[in-house]
Every structure is written in structure tokens, then in C-alpha cells.
Amino acid sequence: MNMTSVFQTDCPEVKVPVPLFLTMGLVSLGENFLVVLAVIRNRDLHSPMYCFICSLAAFNTIASLTKTWETLMIVLVDVGQLEKRGSSETKLDDVMDSLLCMSFVGPISSFLAIAVDRYITIFHALRYHNIMTMQRTRAVLGVIWTMCGVSAMLMVRFFDAKFTMICFVVFFVISLVIICFLYVYMFMLARIHALKIAALPTSGVGKCRWRCCSTRGALTLTILFGTFMVCWAPFFVHLIIIMVCPANPYCECYRSLFQLHMVLLMSHAMIDPGIYAFRSAELRQTFRKMLLCSNWKPCS
């Protein structure tokens, strides 16, 4: 997956120290695994929104694990313990590339599912539990993970074809437009609905609180999505440059920053759990119990 330059350019490739990659991979792996474990262990978090957040954290875990694994292989190659072009190493590299591609498509799909879930929560509050049942949530997650697995294998198998990268970028852009539209639409209508509910008698207070909590949840996920965009946009620009100007020396200067783009991707996996913990009281409480071994049988 390291698409470094093969053309002459005045811009040398920027190298990131291996220990930095290894440290970031291990930290993000631990953080996201903690989120997945928290959602699994706490029954109060077994709701559609947290299931989608758990899916997002699981994809981040795969990305962190894959990058840590790849970094360790690079270290072993450098010390002569692995052959760079051995058959087993090549197969292992294909597996890692598939997992990495899966972790590219997965977060986008998870954010799309989360945006739809928040839309239903805010504007169909009374019917939410009938629309977003756990059975349907599991079905959506099954579709997401199956689609990501199949697309990852196809991307690795046909990565040299420009059509593959075009499909990947188009999928990213379309998902981005849909997510942005849903969030803008949500916040605009939520404000209008809040003003209408405020004019109702006291009986509307419960609904108002529900909408306020739902809007806060949408705001949290907007922060998550904004972080995702900042960290992932340079990588997608990298892919577009490969397709549009593969031999241009100015484009090569941008492509020489590939390892910095990977650092941003790994930073995203590290930042997400911090946003969960800061914005969600339920997750904060669960993390506290897990880390302090409070009311958890395995720690007794």
C-alpha cells in the first residue's frame, strides 16, 4: 500500500521513524479495543448508535493492528529475519493490504450508518425503536462488514487498475455528500422543531429533553466526522493525484508525503476514543469501571 514515487523529483520522500509508527499503532490499538470491549460488556450500551460506534472502533482496531503488524515486519526485514520477496511474506502482505483497505471503507460506511441513525432519532423519535430494532441494526452491520470485506479483496486484487481507485474515490465523495447533507439538514430542522416544542405546554418538556439529548449525540458524531475528514482527506487527495497526474513532478512532491498521510490516518484512530470518552457520559462511566475494576467480575 506504500505508493511511493518512482519518478525523478526534487522532493525527497519524507520518512517517519519506525518507533513512532509502532507506538501510535499500539496506543490506538489499545484505545479502540477498550471501546469495543466497553460496548460489548455494558448492556446499557446495546443500542443501535453504540453498535455503530463499536463497529467504527472495530475498524479502527483493524487499522491499528494492521499498521503495527506491518511495522514489525519492516523491522524484521531490516534485521534480516524476513525475506522481502519471499512467497509467505508476499501472501502475508496481501492479507495486511486487504485488512488495511477494509479499514478504509469501514469507517466511511459506519459514519453513513450513524448519520442515518441520528436522523431517525431526531425526526422520528416516537417511532425510533420500531424503525431501528436491534435485529435491523445487526443486519445493517452484517451488510457493512460483508461489503467491506469483499471490496477490500477486490481492491487488493485489482489495485493496479485505475477503475478500482476511481470507484474508491467516488464512493468516498458520494458518502461524504450524503453525510454532510444529513447533518446540515438535521441541525437546521432540529432548531426549528426546538422552537416549536418550546412553545408547547409543560407536557412537551419530555420531548424537548429527548430532542436535546439526540441533538447532542448528533453534535458528537459531527465532531467525529470532522476529525475523520481532517485526518483522511490528504490520503484521498493522494489517490486522486495518482490517477490525475502520476508523472508530474509537482504531484510527486505531494506524494512524497505519503508516510505523513499514514500518520494522520493512525492519529484518527487514536483521537476517536478520546472523543467518545469526552462526549459520552455512559462510555466515561464504563471506562472508569473497567479501568478501576469496579463491579466487574473478571477483576475480582
Extents of the domains making up the chain: 18-292
pLDDT tens, position by position, 272-296: 787 776 677 788 888 888 777 755 5
Mean per-residue pLDDT, 95-111: 84
Contacts of 25 (CB under 8 A, 6+ apart): 64, 65, 67, 68, 71, 266
Highest mean pLDDT among 80-84, 104-108, 195-199: 104-108
DSSP at 246? T
Percent of the chain surpassing pLDDT 90: 6
C-alpha cell read off for 122: 431526531
CA–centroid distance for 227 within its chain:
10
Decide which of 267 and 183 is more confident: 267
- Distance separating alpha carbons of residues 155 and 171, to the nearest angstrom: 13
Predicted confidence band of residue 85 (pLDDT cuts 50, 70, 90): low
Sign of the Cα torsion 86, 89, 93, 95 reads positive
Percent of the chain surpassing pLDDT 70: 79
C-alpha cell read off for 133: 430494532
Mean per-residue pLDDT, 137-142: 94
Q: Which residue has the cell 479495543?
A: 33
CA–centroid distance for 172 within its chain:
12
Q: Residue 187: what pLDDT?
A: 73
Of 280, 181, 143, the residue nearest 224 (C-alpha): 280
- For residue 24, pLDDT beyond 90: no
Mean per-residue pLDDT, 80-87: 65
Q: Residue 44: what pLDDT?
A: 84
Q: Residue 81: what pLDDT?
A: 66
pTM here is 0.78
Q: Residue 140: what pLDDT?
A: 94
Predicted confidence band of residue 145 (pLDDT cuts 50, 70, 90): very high
Of 111, 97, 87, the residue nearest 275 (C-alpha): 111
Predicted confidence band of residue 298 (pLDDT cuts 50, 70, 90): very low
Q: Residue 193: what pLDDT?
A: 66
Domain 18-292 has CATH 1.20.1070.10: yes
C-alpha cell read off for 279: 462526549
Let me know: does 122 contact 190? Beta carbons within 8 Å. yes
pLDDT tens, position by position, 4-13: 444 455 678 8
Contacts of 54 (CB under 8 A, 6+ apart): 35, 36, 39, 40, 45
- For residue 260, pLDDT beyond 70: yes
CA–centroid distance for 106 within its chain:
6
